[in-house]
């Protein structure tokens, strides 16, 4: 099972995102699930309904390979010769050649 992820060609669109997250944004559904899970877990008034929804999201996240996604994105960046110390930098901090 292979999946192709695609980002828009506007190299400045993701300037406020980290390099690693930008790669992961190629799989928008997974990132949307991550964001929803994070918002639920950050809610100080976490309810039983929130717990049920979080469980559903965790299942979907696992099915989509979410627990390996960050590692795989890092491996892709390494293969593109983007050093690990830049993976958590903002895209705005990369030069144009690195963004392409």
The domain segmentation of the chain, as residue ranges, is: 19-99
Report the SS3 class of residue 18: strand
pLDDT digits (tens, 9 = 90+) for 19-31: 999 999 999 999 9
pLDDT higher than 70, residue 66: yes
Q: Cβ distance 87 to 12 under 8 Å?
A: no
Predicted local distance difference test score (pLDDT) of residue 86:
96
User: SS in 3 state form for 59-97?
Assistant: HHHHHCCHHHHHHHHHHHHHHCCCCHHHCCCEHHHCCHH
Residues 55-70 have a mean pLDDT of 96
The pLDDT value recorded for residue 28 is: 94
Mean confidence (pLDDT) of the chain: 93
The pLDDT value given to residue 9? 76
pLDDT band at 57 (very low <50, low <70, confident <90, very high): very high
Q: Which residues contact 76 (CB under 8 A, 6 or more apart)?
A: 23
pLDDT grade for 96, boundaries at 50, 70 and 90 = confident
Confidence at residue 1, expressed as pLDDT on a 0 to 100 scale: 67
54 phi, psi to nearest 5 deg: -60, -40
Measure the CA–CA gap between 77 and 71, rounded to whole angstroms: 10
Q: How confident is the model at residue 34 (pLDDT cuts 50, 70, 90)?
A: very high
**DSSP-based three-state secondary structure for 50:** helix
């Amino acid at each position: 099972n292979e999946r192709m992820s695609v980002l828009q060609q506007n190299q400045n669109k993701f300037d406020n995102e980290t390099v690693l997250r930008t790669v992961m944004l190629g799989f928008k559904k997974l990132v949307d699930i991550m964001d929803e899970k994070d918002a639920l877990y950050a809610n100080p008034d976490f309810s039983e309904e929130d717990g049920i929804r979080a469980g559903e999201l965790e299942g979907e996240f696992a099915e989509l390979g979410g627990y390996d996604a960050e590692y795989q994105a890092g491996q892709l960046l390494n293969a593109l010769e983007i050093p690990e110390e830049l993976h958590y930098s903002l895209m705005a901090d990369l030069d144009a050649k690195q963004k392409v």
